Chains A and B, each alone.
Chain A
Amino acid sequence: MHLGNYLGLLENSEKQLCDAFEHVSKKHRDEPDIEQMCAKLSAWSREHRGKVMPFVEKYSKDKSKEPKDLRRDLFSEKRSGSLALLRDLHDLWLLTQEVHLCWTVIQQAALGLRDEDLKATYTFCYARTKRQAEWLLGRIKQAAPQTLLVAA
C-alpha cells in the first residue's frame, strides 16, 4: 500500500504552499492585499498540514521507499520589478494544484478504506485549497494585463 507515501507527499506540499504563501506575503509588503491575503492563506495551509499529520502517522507503516518530495523549482530565481508579483502568484497557483491533486488521489483511497475521519478532513481541506487557487487566479487575472501590456 502506498497511501502513506501519498499522505507524505500531501503533507509536504501543504508545507511548501504554507511557506510559499508566507514568503510572498513578506516579499510583497507594498501590495497590502497580497501581504494580508497570503498571510491568511498561509495559515490555512498550516492548519491543513496539522490536520494531515495524524493520518501520516496512522498510515506510516504502509509506506514504501518512494521519495515524498516532489520539490519543484519554484521561487528560485531572484525576481524583481513588476513581473515578479505575477510570477510569484503564478508559482503559488502551481503549488495549489499539487495539493489539489494529492487530495484528489487521497480521497479515492479514503472512500475505499471507509476512513470517515480522513474523508471529513478531505472535505474541509479540499474546499479551501480550491478557494486558495480561486483567489490566486482572480488576482493573477487582475495583474496580468497591466504587467504584460503596460511598461513600468
Chain B
Amino acid sequence: MTETRDSIKDIWGPRTGYTGQWPVRVDEQTTETPDHWVQSACVLCSNGCGIDIGVKDGRIVGVRGRAVDRTNYGRLGPKGLNGWVANQSPDRLTKPQIRRNGKLEDATWDEAMELIVSKSKQIIKEHTSGAIGFYTSGQMFLEEYYALAIIGKAGLGTPHMDGNTRLCTATAAAALKVSFGTDGQPGSYTDLDTTEAVLLVGHNMASQQTVLWARILDRLAGPNPPKLVVIDPRLTFTAEKATVHLAPRVGTNIPVMNGLLRLLIEAGHIDPAYIAAHTVGFEELKKIVDKWTPERVERLTGVPADKLREAANILGTCKTLVSTALQGVYQSMQATAAAVQINNLHLLRGLIGKPGAGIYQMNGQPTSQNTRECGADGDLPAFRNWGNPDHIQQLADLWNVHPDQIPHWSPPTHAMQIWRYCETGSIKMLWISGTNPLVSLPDLDRVRKTIEKEDLFVIAQDAFPTETTKYADVVLPAAIWGEKTGCFTNVDRTVHISHKAIDPPGEARSDFDIFVDYSRRMDFRGQDGSPLLTSTWQTTEDAFEAWKKCTKGRPCDYTGMSYAKLSEGSGIQWPCNEAHPDGTEHLYTDGVFNTQIDNCEAYGHDLETGAPHTHDDYKLIDPKGKAFLKGVDYEVPHEVPDEAYPLWLTTGRLVYHFHTRTKTGRSKALNDAAPDSYVQLATEDAARYGIVDGDMVEVTSRRGRVLEPARVGDIEPGLVFIPFHYGYWDKPGRPRAANELTITEWDPVSKQPHYKYAAVRIRKVLA
C-alpha cells in the first residue's frame, strides 16, 4: 500500500522550481501491492496524464503516474489518484435492462440488442433514419467514436449525431476553425516550460487540469517565473496566483478582449510583418476594437482601466506567450467570437508555431478531441468539410458507400437541436452513450419532460445507474477505462493508448463491442453489397488501423502511429506520419494555416448570426493559407438581472469532481472532499439577505428552483455561484442540480449552451 501524498489536502503536490525539462515526480496511490502494471492514461479531464494501472488478482488496486510521459512526467492529481475506485463500485450496471410494463427489468444481450434493431428498422421504415438520433460523450475512446460515426453516417445515414462535447468544447473547435481553417491545437505543453507569460481566460486550470497547473506552479517557483494574466469573474485558485487578475462582469468577455487588443495595437505591440504575411482582416479587426478604450471597458465590465493597461502591457511585451480558454469563454455570451479574440492576440503578435508560444482552446473532457476528430459529433471524420464534395467522396470511398448516403445536405444537427427534435416528436429514437444529460443539460425540467415522452424510445449506455438511465427504455451496461483497450488524444494533441487491465464486471461490454454488434445485427452494407466496415472489425486495433487511413494527409494524421508504438513509452503528438515519425510539437511553424479552400474544415460563419458561408462565398475570400483575423462588437446577454431576478448566477466546476460525478462521486475520498452542492455568495449580498454560512438558500430562476446551503465570501457582489456536478442519484429529494436554473440558448456559431449566466433571486429558507 502506497500513498505518495494525500492529494485531497495537497492538491498539486510539492513544488520543484525548474528550467529545461519538467522534472519527474512519480505520484502513486495503491491499496495493495500490484502484481503487475498496465499502461494507460487518465480519463478524468482533458489533460490526459500518463498513468499505470496497478492490478492484483484481476482487480485494480491503484495507480501511479508514468514517469516517461511527456504530459505529466509521473504526476497525478486528486481525481487521477482516487477516481479509479469507481470501477469497483458495487452499483455498476452488469446486465442489460429492458423496460417492461413501465419497469426496467434484467434482460439478455440478445433480447436488448434485438429490441434496438427491430425498433430501428421499424422507425426507418415509417419515418426514415432522420428519426434516429445519437447523443454521445467526450469520455469514450477514439475507436468507439469512429465506429459510431460510420454507423451513423454510412450505415443509417442520419445527420443527428452529437456529443456532450457540444456542452464543453464545441467552441474550442469552432474558434480554431474560424481562425486557422481546421480544428487542432497549435501549441504544445512544452511551451509552458519556457514561456514568459500565460493568459488564462475563463479557465480555472488549478481546479480543472491540476497537473498542468502544477507545471505552472513549478515554473512560478523557478528562477524565471512567467507572468500570469487571469480573466475570471471569480477569485479562483488560478486567479489567486495571477500577476494581474481581471474580474469582468458576467457576459463581458468581448469588451475586455477588444480592449486588450486595442491597447496592443495602440502601443505598437504587434508584429506588422507577420500580420501582413500570414493573416487577413487586420483593418476590419482594428476598426471593431478601436472604440474599446480602457475607460469604456471599465464602465461596461467593471475592470479598472489601469488593470487593463497593466495586463495589456504584459501581453504586449512578453517575447513568448501561452494562452488558454475554457468554459468562462465557451459557455458565455458571444462564445466563439470571444475565443477567437485569443487567437487574434497571438496572430497580431506573431506568437504562434514556435517554442514557448501556444494557444490551448481547452477541452473539458478527456476524449472530446476524439469525438471531434472522428466525427461522432457535428463534425466529419479527420476534420473534413461537410460542404466540400471531394471530402464527402473521400469518406464514401473509405466506407464503400454512395456519397449521398452520408448526410451532408445541411449542417449536422447540434445537440440542443437534437433534443428539440425529440421534444417535438420528430426524433423517435435517441441513443445516449457515456453521458448523463439529465444533470448536464441546461433547463432540466424541460429535458425531463422531453425524455419522458411516450413516443421517444431511449437507449442509455452507461457503466452506472444515472439520472438518465432511469428514464431509458433499454439500458446497456458498458465497460469503462481499465476494462477495455483504446486510444485518446489530449489537449496538446498527445495520443495515448489505454490498455485493458481487468475484465468488466458481470456482462458489461465495451462501447466498441456494442456498436460493432449493432452494425452486424443491422446488417449494414456498402454499395457493392459487402458488409459495412464496422461489421468487419474484430478488435479495436482493426478500427485504429482504419482510422489511420481516414486521417492520411489530413491535419490530424495518425498514419505514423500504431498500438505497438504507442505502447513503447510516452504518448505521441499528431500529426505523426512519414515526415514526422515521432509526432509534431507545433502546428503552423511556417505561418501557413489550413485555410485553403480544398483543405479547410468549414467555409466560415457570420460570427454574429452564425449563418454558414458557402463554397461560393469562400471562393471570394479564400486566404490560401493565411489565418483569419475576425471580430465582433459587444452584445448584451439575453437575460440580465432585473427587479424580479436581481442576481447573476454562474456555474462551474470543483477540483474534486468530474462531470456529473458518476465516477468521482463513487470514490469515497473525492466524495468526502466535496460531498454536496452549495451556493456561494458575496459577503455584502449575504448580509443583505440575512444569510450566514450553512443557511439553506432557495435560488430561483425563470426555469426552476434549487435549495443549496450557503457559502459566504470570495465572490463579487451581485453574483452567485453553484457547482454543476451535483444531481440526484446519490441524494434524491432536495432539488440541487444547478441546471434546474440555466437557460436553453446557445452560441450562434458553436451552438454551445450558455451555462455561465442566468438571472436568479435568492431567499433564505428555514431548514
> Quick check: is A36 within 8 A (CB to CB) of the other chain?
yes
Check A152 against B610 for contact (C-beta < 8 Å). no
A135-B606, A142-B411 known; A149-B128 Cβ under 8 A: yes
Choose among A32, A132, A137, A149 the residue that contacts B744 (Cβ–Cβ < 8 A).
A32
Q: Chain B nearest CB: distance from A140 CB in Å?
A: 9
> Quick check: is B748 within 8 A (CB to CB) of the other chain?
yes
Check B611 against A145 for contact (C-beta < 8 Å). no
Check B609 against A152 for contact (C-beta < 8 Å). no
Check A138 against B424 for contact (C-beta < 8 Å). no
Bound: A137/B611 CA distance, A: 8
Check B748 against A82 for contact (C-beta < 8 Å). no
> Quick check: is B526 within 8 A (CB to CB) of the other chain?
no
> Quick check: is B746 within 8 A (CB to CB) of the other chain?
yes
Taken residue by residue from 123 to 152, chain A's Cβ proximity to chain B (1 for < 8 Å, 0 otherwise) reads as 000000001101101100110111001111
Choose among A33, A144, A152 the residue that contacts B748 (Cβ–Cβ < 8 A).
A33
Check A150 against B131 for contact (C-beta < 8 Å). yes
Interface residues of B in 387-440 (CB under 8 A from A): 409-411, 413, 416-417, 420-421, 423-426
> Quick check: is A94 within 8 A (CB to CB) of the other chain?
no
Choose among A32, A37, A145 the residue that contacts B410 (Cβ–Cβ < 8 A).
A145
Bound: A152/B423 CA distance, A: 10
Q: Chain B contacts of A7 at CB under 8 A?
A: none
Q: Chain A nearest CB: distance from B348 CB in Å?
A: 25
Choose among A32, A33, A82, A134 the residue that contacts B426 (Cβ–Cβ < 8 A).
A82
Q: Chain A contacts of B745 at CB under 8 A?
A: 32-33, 36
Bound: A146/B611 CA distance, A: 19
Check A145 against B424 for contact (C-beta < 8 Å). no
Bound: A57/B183 CA distance, A: 51
Q: Chain A contacts of B421 at CB under 8 A?
A: 146, 152
> Quick check: is A41 within 8 A (CB to CB) of the other chain?
yes
CB-CB nearest in chain A for B617: A134
Check B130 against A146 for contact (C-beta < 8 Å). yes
Interface residues of B in 710-767 (CB under 8 A from A): 743-746, 748
Choose among A134, A138, A145 the residue that contacts B409 (Cβ–Cβ < 8 A).
A145
A32-B744, A141-B410, A145-B159 known; A135-B610 Cβ under 8 A: yes
Q: Chain B nearest CB: distance from A137 CB in Å?
A: 7
Check A152 against B424 for contact (C-beta < 8 Å). yes
Bound: A82/B423 CA distance, A: 12
Bound: A66/B613 CA distance, A: 39
Q: Chain A nearest CB: distance from B427 CB in Å?
A: 8
> Quick check: is B319 within 8 A (CB to CB) of the other chain?
no
> Quick check: is A115 within 8 A (CB to CB) of the other chain?
no
Taken residue by residue from 23 to 65, chain A's Cβ proximity to chain B (1 for < 8 Å, 0 otherwise) reads as 0000000111100110011000000000000000000000000
> Quick check: is B127 within 8 A (CB to CB) of the other chain?
yes
Q: Chain A contacts of B638 at CB under 8 A?
A: 36
Q: Chain B contacts of A37 at CB under 8 A?
A: 609-610, 748
A141-B410, A145-B159, A145-B409 known; A150-B606 Cβ under 8 A: no
Q: Chain A contacts of B531 at CB under 8 A?
A: none
The listed residue with most A CB atoms (<10 A of its CB), out of B416, B613, B744, is: B744
> Quick check: is B591 within 8 A (CB to CB) of the other chain?
no
Q: Chain B nearest CB: distance from A97 CB in Å?
A: 16
Q: Chain A nearest CB: distance from B119 CB in Å?
A: 16
> Quick check: is B302 within 8 A (CB to CB) of the other chain?
no
Check A134 against B131 for contact (C-beta < 8 Å). no
CB-CB nearest in chain A for B423: A30
Q: Chain B nearest CB: distance from A93 CB in Å?
A: 12
Check A134 against B606 for contact (C-beta < 8 Å). yes
Q: Chain B contacts of A31 at CB under 8 A?
A: 420
CB-CB nearest in chain B for A132: B609
Bound: A32/B396 CA distance, A: 35
Q: Chain B nearest CB: distance from A26 CB in Å?
A: 15
Check A134 against B609 for contact (C-beta < 8 Å). yes
Bound: A141/B410 CA distance, A: 6
Check A152 against B410 for contact (C-beta < 8 Å). no
Q: Chain B contacts of A30 at CB under 8 A?
A: 420, 423
Assign chain A's interface to a size class.
20 to 34
Q: Chain A nearest CB: distance from B391 CB in Å?
A: 18
Check A144 against B410 for contact (C-beta < 8 Å). yes
CB-CB nearest in chain B for A133: B611
Check B425 against A152 for contact (C-beta < 8 Å). yes
Q: Chain A nearest CB: distance from B186 CB in Å?
A: 28
Q: Chain A contacts of B304 at CB under 8 A?
A: none
CB-CB nearest in chain B for A81: B424
Q: Chain A contacts of B748 at CB under 8 A?
A: 33, 37
Q: Chain A nearest CB: distance from B540 CB in Å?
A: 33
Bound: A52/B611 CA distance, A: 26
Interface residues of A in 67-113 (CB under 8 A from B): 82
Q: Chain B contacts of A132 at CB under 8 A?
A: 609
The listed residue with most B CB atoms (<10 A of its CB), out of A33, A142, A144, is: A33
> Quick check: is B641 within 8 A (CB to CB) of the other chain?
no
Check B611 against A150 for contact (C-beta < 8 Å). no
Bound: A26/B423 CA distance, A: 19
Q: Chain A nearest CB: distance from B142 CB in Å?
A: 28
CB-CB nearest in chain B for A35: B745
Check A41 against B611 for contact (C-beta < 8 Å). no
Bound: A21/B425 CA distance, A: 26
Check A33 against B611 for contact (C-beta < 8 Å). no
Check A150 against B410 for contact (C-beta < 8 Å). no
Bound: A8/B211 CA distance, A: 65
CB-CB nearest in chain A for B753: A32
Bound: A31/B417 CA distance, A: 9
The listed residue with most A CB atoms (<10 A of its CB), out of B126, B130, B743, is: B130
Check B426 against A150 for contact (C-beta < 8 Å). yes
> Quick check: is B612 within 8 A (CB to CB) of the other chain?
yes
Bound: A40/B610 CA distance, A: 12
Q: Chain A contacts of B606 at CB under 8 A?
A: 131, 134-135
Taken residue by residue from 608 to 632, chain B's Cβ proximity to chain A (1 for < 8 Å, 0 otherwise) reads as 1111110000000000000000000
Choose among A36, A82, A138, A150 the residue that contacts B128 (Cβ–Cβ < 8 A).
A150
Check B744 against A150 for contact (C-beta < 8 Å). no
A33-B746, A33-B748, A145-B130 known; A138-B420 Cβ under 8 A: no
A142-B410, A149-B128 known; A32-B746 Cβ under 8 A: yes
Q: Chain A contacts of B411 at CB under 8 A?
A: 138, 141-142
Bound: A30/B744 CA distance, A: 9
Check B609 against A131 for contact (C-beta < 8 Å). yes
Check A151 against B610 for contact (C-beta < 8 Å). no
CB-CB nearest in chain A for B613: A134
Bound: A41/B610 CA distance, A: 12
Check A82 against B159 for contact (C-beta < 8 Å). no
The listed residue with most A CB atoms (<10 A of its CB), out of B130, B421, B611, is: B611
CB-CB nearest in chain A for B443: A32
Bound: A37/B749 CA distance, A: 12
Q: Chain A contacts of B744 at CB under 8 A?
A: 32
Q: Chain B contacts of A82 at CB under 8 A?
A: 424, 426
Interface residues of A in 7-31 (CB under 8 A from B): 30-31
Q: Chain B contacts of A32 at CB under 8 A?
A: 416, 743-746
Bound: A138/B30 CA distance, A: 54
Q: Chain B contacts of A134 at CB under 8 A?
A: 606, 609, 611, 613
A82-B424, A142-B411, A146-B426 known; A135-B609 Cβ under 8 A: yes
Q: Chain A contacts of B423 at CB under 8 A?
A: 30
Bound: A132/B611 CA distance, A: 9
Bound: A131/B613 CA distance, A: 10
Check A138 against B611 for contact (C-beta < 8 Å). yes
Bound: A152/B425 CA distance, A: 6
Q: Chain A nearest CB: distance from B441 CB in Å?
A: 13
**Known A36-B745, A142-B411, A146-B421; 13 more pairs at CB < 8 Å:** A31-B420, A32-B745, A36-B638, A37-B609, A131-B611, A142-B410, A142-B417, A145-B130, A145-B159, A145-B410, A150-B128, A150-B131, A152-B131
Residues of B whose CB lies within 8 Å of any CB of A are: 126-128, 130-131, 159, 409-411, 413, 416-417, 420-421, 423-426, 606, 608-613, 638, 743-746, 748
Q: Name 9 interchain pairs, CB-CB below 8 A, sorted by A.
A: A40-B609, A82-B426, A131-B608, A132-B609, A135-B606, A135-B610, A146-B426, A152-B421, A152-B426
